[in-house]
């Protein structure tokens, strides 16, 4: 490879978690470089690939790549698809094309950082220009520091610090044109990657619920800001209501950027008439984006986050190992309606409302004493928004072993949670239809219904719907005792 860069050689834009044309700094850089552009996506899911996408994410990825591919094709610059170890595939393509430069937007998972740093050094040593950009975060993890110079472990001061210095700027427009190579390199056919389920095709619910891709993301943001953000502050905890944005899978796959969201939400806040709750809604919504930033901050500074508890005391926690209970939880057959509704929503749509994620998570780790890593693994496979930072952050938070975490002694009561956040029962009735005929008074605790009420609703407990797999009071006490044991051990 020549040590003298050829300014006419192509530039590879390596797409990863940034599957969009607008506000894509790597792509914008490539266009401005004046070089022919080669857009590339590498599927690195073979062998030992850590945290390769789960089944629901693979479904999303297929459709997102299909959408990006169509957009690039429309601009005369086809997306090249290759499969294998991404560092090897990228180096091979650079050589094959005699490319002069590579551009990408940064990822923040520990394995990706290690890979990208090594690649950057190798390519630069070979005379290839490498340019990387921030396209996924409002503030990159190393830019936010406590007074003592370390990372934050508490959300509120973290978010205050991020907001203080924050100026995300205007999102970049999509490129007006792309200069392609006269003969683009060969690539795989997306259909041959087998990302979609076939036998059986379980993705019907996902298809009905989602439109992956940049256009779908933009539409979802616009709809949310038009019709829901005003309800967000008060309503974001009610799972039967459409008052959260459902942007998480679009954000994870980079079909929309936090900068685009920030700009649109701020503009909405500025233009809204007074007193409609929009300002409050916008602030609350952006604060949740702040939790996403916080989780990325934690994963960057504590790269063991998906594997080990942040609070080392929890290394000694006496987790149970019970396949039968784990399966009851996974299948939505615990006998606690709000838990089962959440797990079935997840299975059907690849997504679950945040309040219910907290309820089912708490139930797994506290009522069943099953390890948070088992919950994390199930979510990883079934969520369309499965995200290493947010998933690990969410599970450690709920298990009480993470940063700024829910204290272990706070054990959600699934009956009271259901009665509070699904008082009219619309959520449970939708996802647990066998209980739909029960009156509200017993819907969240069907085992308390008398025989006549059950019969009138057509419910035979133990046949149509399970008895509770654990008793709440006893399970709560067991969780507190187990926690007390590790607390005492280490104090
Ligand atoms: P909105 O309320 O509209 O929020 C806007 C955006 O902010 C979201 O799209 C998301 O990107 C971000 N956000 C919101 N809440 C959180 C949060 N608590 N932590 C981090 N980011 C947040 N989120 C994921 O994106 N991927 C995951 O794998 C994931 N796993 C989770 C596991 C558990 C046990 C828990 C308790 C939470 C998890 N979350 C995860 C966070 C949260 O539940 C989802 O981001 C949220 O429900 C997505 O819905 P929304 O887009 O309507 O959110």
Determine the distance from the C-alpha atom of residue 210 to the mean position of all C-alpha atoms in its chain, rounded to a whole number: 14
Q: Which of 372, 378, 380, 397 is catalytic?
A: 372
Domain identity same for 127 and 83: yes
What is the per-residue pLDDT for 440? 98
By CB atoms closer than 10 A (0-12, 13-18, 19+), residue 12 is: buried
CATH number of the domain within which 286 lies = 1.25.40.80
What is the per-residue pLDDT for 489? 56
CATH number of the domain within which 70 lies = 3.40.50.620
* Residue 180 forms part of a structural domain: no
Domain identity same for 466 and 328: yes
Q: Which atom of ligand 1 is nearest to the CA of 248?
A: 9
**Segment holding 356, helix H or strand E:** helix 354-362
What is the distance between the alpha carbons of residues 469 and 98, in angstroms, rounded to a whole number? Answer: 62
* Residue 2 forms part of a structural domain: no
Cα–Cα–Cα angle for 173, 178, 181, nearest 5°? Answer: 155
487 pLDDT band (50/70/90 cuts)? confident
Domain identity same for 280 and 335: no
Closest CA to ligand 1's atom 7: 289
Tokens 């409609």 sit on residue: 276
**408 ligand 1 Cβ < 6 A:** no
Which of 256, 282, 301 is a domain's end point? 301
In tens, the pLDDT along 178-201 reads 999 999 999 999 999 999 999 899
278 pLDDT band (50/70/90 cuts)? confident
The answer to whether the beta carbons of residues 288 and 382 sit under 8 Å apart is no
Mean pLDDT along residues 71-80: 98
Among 139, 133, 137, 167, smallest CA distance to 152 is for 139
What is the distance between the alpha carbons of residues 65 and 74, in angstroms, rounded to a whole number? Answer: 14
Domain identity same for 335 and 463: yes
DSSP summary character for residue 59: H
Mean pLDDT of the chain: 95
Domain identity same for 124 and 151: no
Domain identity same for 283 and 400: no
What is the distance between the alpha carbons of residues 395 and 372, in angstroms, rounded to a whole number? Answer: 6
Which of 240, 266, 301 is a domain's end point? 301
* Residue 192 forms part of a structural domain: no
Cα(355) to ligand 1 centroid in Å equals 10
**296 ligand 1 Cβ < 6 A:** no
* Residue 466 forms part of a structural domain: yes
The answer to whether the beta carbons of residues 110 and 3 sit under 8 Å apart is no
Q: Which of 129, 234, 288, 419 is catalytic?
A: 288
* Residue 187 forms part of a structural domain: no
The answer to whether the beta carbons of residues 167 and 137 sit under 8 Å apart is no
Residue 319 is among the residues annotated as catalytic for this protein: yes
Q: Which of 104, 159, 291, 380 is catalytic?
A: 291
406 pLDDT band (50/70/90 cuts)? confident
Q: Which range has the worst mean pLDDT, 24-33, 46-55, 109-118?
A: 46-55
Q: How far apart are the first and last CA of the chain?
A: 60
**398 ligand 1 Cβ < 6 A:** yes
Residue 153 in this model has a pLDDT that exceeds 90: yes
What is the per-residue pLDDT for 269? 79
Domain identity same for 23 and 116: yes
What is the per-residue pLDDT for 463? 97
* Residue 462 forms part of a structural domain: yes
Q: Which atom of ligand 1 is nearest to the CA of 393?
A: 19
* Residue 51 forms part of a structural domain: yes
Domain tally for the chain?
3
* Residue 280 forms part of a structural domain: yes
Residue 431 is among the residues annotated as catalytic for this protein: no
Q: How far is CA 304 from CA 111, 141, 312, 382, 404, in A?
A: 11, 15, 12, 22, 17
**297 ligand 1 Cβ < 6 A:** no
**388 ligand 1 Cβ < 6 A:** no
What is the per-residue pLDDT for 167? 86
CATH number of the domain within which 478 lies = 1.10.579.10
Q: Which of 329, 351, 395, 431 is catalytic?
A: 395
Domain identity same for 143 and 231: yes
**35 ligand 1 Cβ < 6 A:** no
Residue 233 in this model has a pLDDT that exceeds 90: yes
In tens, the pLDDT along 328-366 reads 999 999 999 999 999 999 999 999 999 999 999 999 999
273 pLDDT band (50/70/90 cuts)? low
Domain identity same for 238 and 131: no
Q: Which atom of ligand 1 is nearest to the CA of 385?
A: 26
490 pLDDT band (50/70/90 cuts)? very low
**403 ligand 1 Cβ < 6 A:** no
In tens, the pLDDT along 437-471 reads 999 999 999 999 999 999 999 999 999 999 999 99
Residue 288 is among the residues annotated as catalytic for this protein: yes
2 pLDDT band (50/70/90 cuts)? very low
DSSP summary character for residue 465: B
**394 ligand 1 Cβ < 6 A:** yes
Domain ranges, residue 234: 137-170+214-301
Cα(288) to ligand 1 centroid in Å equals 8
Full-model pTM: 0.97
Q: Which of 193, 202, 319, 447 is catalytic?
A: 319
Which of 117, 136, 155 is a domain's end point? 136
Domain identity same for 370 and 397: yes
- Ligand 1 pocket mutation, candidates 284, 346, 394, criterion most atoms within 8 A of CB: 394
Domain identity same for 432 and 291: no
Residue 291 is among the residues annotated as catalytic for this protein: yes
Mean pLDDT along residues 360-388: 98
Q: Which atom of ligand 1 is nearest to the CA of 294?
A: 20
Domain identity same for 327 and 394: yes
């Amino acid at each position: 490879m020549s040590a003298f860069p050829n300014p006419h050689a192509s530039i590879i834009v390596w797409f990863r978690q940034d599957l969009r044309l607008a506000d894509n700094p790597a792509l914008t850089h490539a266009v401005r470089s004046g070089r022919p552009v080669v857009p590339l996506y590498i599927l690195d899911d073979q062998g030992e690939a850590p945290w390769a996408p789960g089944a629901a994410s693979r479904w999303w990825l297929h459709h997102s790549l299909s959408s990006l591919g169509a957009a690039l094709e429309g601009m005369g610059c086809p997306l090249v698809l290759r499969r294998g170890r991404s560092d090897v595939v990228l180096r091979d393509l650079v050589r094959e094309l005699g490319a002069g430069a590579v551009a990408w937007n940064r990822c923040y998972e520990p394995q990706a950082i290690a890979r990208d740093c090594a690649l950057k050094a190798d390519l630069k040593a070979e005379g290839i220009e490498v340019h990387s950009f921030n396209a996924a975060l409002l503030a990159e993890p190393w830019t936010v520091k406590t007074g003592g110079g370390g990372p934050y472990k508490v959300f509120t001061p973290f978010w205050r610090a991020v907001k203080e210095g924050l100026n995300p700027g205007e999102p970049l427009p999509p490129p007006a044109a792309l200069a392609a190579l006269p003969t683009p390199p060969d690539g795989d056919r997306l259909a041959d990657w087998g990302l979609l389920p076939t036998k059986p095709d379980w993705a019907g619910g996902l298809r009905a619920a989602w439109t992956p891709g940049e256009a779908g993301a933009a539409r979802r943001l616009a709809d949310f800001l038009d019709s829901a953000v005003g309800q967000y502050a008060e309503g974001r905890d009610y799972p039967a209501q459409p008052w959260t944005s459902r942007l998480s899978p679009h954000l994870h796959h980079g079909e929309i950027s936090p900068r685009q969201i920030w700009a649109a939400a701020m503009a909405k806040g500025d233009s809204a008439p007074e007193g409609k709750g929009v300002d409050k809604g916008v602030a609350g919504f952006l604060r949740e984006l702040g939790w996403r930033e916080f989780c990325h901050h934690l994963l960057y500074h504590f790269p063991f986050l998906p594997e080990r508890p942040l609070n080392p005391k929890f290394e000694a926690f006496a987790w149970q190992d019970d396949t039968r209970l784990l399966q009851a939880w996974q299948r939505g057959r615990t006998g606690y309606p709000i838990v089962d509704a959440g797990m079935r929503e997840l299975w059907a749509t690849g997504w679950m409302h945040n309040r219910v994620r907290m309820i089912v998570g708490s139930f797994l780790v506290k009522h069943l004493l099953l390890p948070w890593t088992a919950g994390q693994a199930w979510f990883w496979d079934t969520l369309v928004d499965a995200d290493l930072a947010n998933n690990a952050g969410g599970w450690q938070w709920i298990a009480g072993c993470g940063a700024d975490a829910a204290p272990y002694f706070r054990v959600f009561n699934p009956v009271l949670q259901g009665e509070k956040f699904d008082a009219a029962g619309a959520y449970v009735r939708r996802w647990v239809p066998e209980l739909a005929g029960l009156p509200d008074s017993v819907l969240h605790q069907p085992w308390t219904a008398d025989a006549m009420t059950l019969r009138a609703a057509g419910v035979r407990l133990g046949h149509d719907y399970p008895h509770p797999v654990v008793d709440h009071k006893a399970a709560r006490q067991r969780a507190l005792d187990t926690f007390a044991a590790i607390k005492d051990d280490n104090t």
